[in-house]
Structure 1
Amino acid sequence: MATLALKVDVDTLRGTREGVPTLLRLLARHRLRATFLFSLGPDHTGRALKRVFRPGFLAKVRRTSVTSHYGLKTLLYGTLLPGPDIGRLAAEPMRATYRAGHEVGVHTWDHILWQDNVARKDAAWTRRQMRLAVDRFAEIFGHAPKVHGAAGWQMNDAAYLLEEELGFTLASDGRGDAPYRPVVHGRALAVPQLPTTLPTLDELIGVDGITPENVAAHLLKLSLDGRDHVYTLHAELEGGQLAPVFDALLTGWSQSGLRVGSMADYAATLDLGALPRKGVGMGTVPGRSGVLAVPVNLPPGPAGLA
């Protein structure tokens, strides 16, 4: 039986306050578990507008109705409006997620800051950002986080190493086809990567005739190919205007016989020690602007592996 892991990225204050409760209701109706990864510090979503000159960014904004999904107020945070502290203002929806039996973990401290900068920052900067997120998570939940999923699928070598140092046991930081153990600086790390394997709704809608009305059928077809998958959804989309699409997906996946659950549920079906070793790098994904964290093949032989 193939497995589908549900990974929920929660990027904004609005997504935490409004999108998360909607997703909890949908998942409860279908009696399914998911992994929720929270942004724990300031919401600076408005600063994403500086990506306007990035190839593909404007096209994505036009076809995915960013304003309607995120709201004008959210798109002003960090520019004309101060960035609210998500962890301070929306801790209760986060705790409600954990009480409902879902897995919870770290997405980031400051989503925009991480997404736009981590790939070129040093270890000290990376440590500070991850430490802020880990400490705030422990403050909210009363225990240390075990799951990490990078904002914007953006990473650097230091971040992979810090996941191990900070006590994470599972990560889904990039895109790829199957789970692997990352090799960084010649060392295979203990924290396995379970990458996102399926396209997201905002990568599909508006491309090749795909609309909100037919995207669920398209995505169901992609996911029912006999392989294990990780699907990343966003609290701001599937917990907002695209909630009917997610409801249809949950119905289709449940009826198909897929084993649907959290990242931990998926990891429990794997022999983590036997996962292939892969290097880490950056690559492109259709429908997504910029480059994202992806696995890369290592040179043949054991040279350089510790």
Structure 2
Amino acid sequence: MPTITLKIDVDTYRGSREGTPNLVRLLSQHKANATFLFSLGPDHTGWALRRAFKPGFFQKVSRTSVLEHYGLKTLMYGVLLPAPDIGLTCAAQLRAVAEAGFECGIHTWDHVLWQDNVRQRDAAWTKKQMQQSVDRFTSIFGVAPKTHGAAGWQMNPHAFAELDNLGMAYSSDGRAQLHEDGSLVEPHIGPYRLSIADKTLNCIQMPTTLPTLDELLGRTIDGKVIELHNIAEHILKLTKQPRDHVFTLHAELEGQKLAPIFEKLLIGWQAQGYQCSSMAEYASTIAPAQLPSRPLHWAELPGRSGELIMA
């Protein structure tokens, strides 16, 4: 049976308190599994306003209604409002996810700080950020984290090496290259091991192979504007031919206003014969010794501004 591995990025305080419980209920209702990846330190979402100077930022914001989905209060954290500490104030909500039977892992310590800076930072800065996440995760859940998914699909060589140092067997830190319509450039792309400086790392990388909702909404593809009423249909066309996929969703989007779209996808994927799984379940089917190795590579994706880690 082919699988859709569901990787849920929880970026913000609001996503942790509101979106995450909603997703737990929705997934449980449809007997679907998933992995939740948490931001565990301060919510500095307001700092993201500095991205206004990056090419493509305003186009993405206008298409995806950032204010509507994230809320004005969230967009003020770290600017006009103090940044709430997600791990301290939302510990009960995060533990409830694990208690409901879902795999939990690390997204980041400070989402905006990591996403906007990690590519240029050194080993000491990187290790400190990741260790803070590990320590906070362990204090909340009582166990060390087993998996990771990079904020904004941003990493550096030190961060990848640290995944091995931390003993993480699998992670989802990058993307697969997509055509304008969201279909795969390399149809058979899948899990791999990263090669950096002539060393192949142990940690298995599971690249996201489908476009995210915010990358599709508002774009014109094949002469058709992708809107709320037809976006699920478009993604289901991408998964019509059975193969394993990794789909990234966000607690702030699919866990709130876009929940009806995600429910349509869950129903559609099950009708197509897919099993919706966690990263741990997917990893259990992979033979590491048989995986290809790939170099560290950056590229842009349709519908998203800036370069991302690319398989």
Match of 2:203 in 1: 191
- Specify the SS of the correspondent of 1:162: helix
Match of 1:64 in 2: 64
Measured after TM superposition, the shift of residue 223 of structure 1 is 2.0
Aligned-partner Cα distance in 2 for 1:244–1:272: 36
Q: Work out the percentage of aligned pairs sharing the same amino acid.
A: 58
Is residue 32–residue 275 contact of structure 2 (8 Å, CA) maintained in 1?
Answer: no
Match of 1:292 in 2: 308
- Tell me which amino acid in the other structure corresponds to 2:295: G
Match of 1:214 in 2: 230
Measured after TM superposition, the shift of residue 203 of structure 1 is 0.1
Match of 2:52 in 1: 52
1:152 correspondence with 2:156: no
* 1:36-185 matched pairs, under 5 angstroms: 36-176=36-176, 177-185=189-197
- Tell me which amino acid in the other structure corresponds to 1:195: P
Is residue 217–residue 228 contact of structure 2 (8 Å, CA) maintained in 1?
Answer: yes
Aligned-partner Cα distance in 2 for 1:278–1:27: 33
Aligned-partner Cα distance in 2 for 1:37–1:24: 13
Aligned-partner Cα distance in 1 for 2:288–2:20: 30
Measured after TM superposition, the shift of residue 271 of structure 1 is 1.5
Aligned-partner Cα distance in 2 for 1:145–1:185: 26
Deviates more, 1:46-55 or 1:261-270: 261-270
Measured after TM superposition, the shift of residue 268 of structure 1 is 1.5
Aligned-partner Cα distance in 1 for 2:279–2:269: 16
Aligned-partner Cα distance in 2 for 1:115–1:224: 33
Aligned-partner Cα distance in 2 for 1:7–1:168: 16
Is residue 13–residue 84 contact of structure 2 (8 Å, CA) maintained in 1?
Answer: yes
Measured after TM superposition, the shift of residue 148 of structure 1 is 0.5
1:239 correspondence with 2:255: yes
Cα offsets for 1:223-269 (capped at 9, x unmatched): 23222110000000000100000010000111111121101111122
* Corresponding residue pairs, total: 295
Aligned match for 1:268, one of 284, 295, 305: 284
Q: TM-score, length-normalised on structure 1?
A: 0.95
Unaligned runs of 5+ in 2: 177-188
Aligned-partner Cα distance in 2 for 1:150–1:286: 19
- Specify the SS of the correspondent of 2:308: strand
Runs of 4+ with deviation above 6 angstroms: none
Measured after TM superposition, the shift of residue 272 of structure 1 is 2.0
Match of 1:228 in 2: 244
- Specify the SS of the correspondent of 2:41: coil
Aligned-partner Cα distance in 2 for 1:270–1:259: 16
Unaligned runs of 5+ in 1: 296-306
- Tell me which amino acid in the other structure corresponds to 2:13: L
- Specify the SS of the correspondent of 2:300: strand
Aligned match for 2:293, one of 256, 270, 277: 277
Q: TM-score, length-normalised on structure 2?
A: 0.94
Aligned alpha-carbon RMSD (Å): 0.8
Deviates more, 1:267-276 or 1:13-22: 267-276
Measured after TM superposition, the shift of residue 3 of structure 1 is 1.4
- Specify the SS of the correspondent of 1:266: helix
1:257 correspondence with 2:273: yes
Match of 1:22 in 2: 22
Measured after TM superposition, the shift of residue 53 of structure 1 is 1.2
Aligned-partner Cα distance in 2 for 1:33–1:229: 14
Match of 1:200 in 2: 212
- Specify the SS of the correspondent of 1:190: strand
Deviates more, 1:88-97 or 1:35-44: 88-97
Aligned-partner Cα distance in 2 for 1:224–1:166: 37
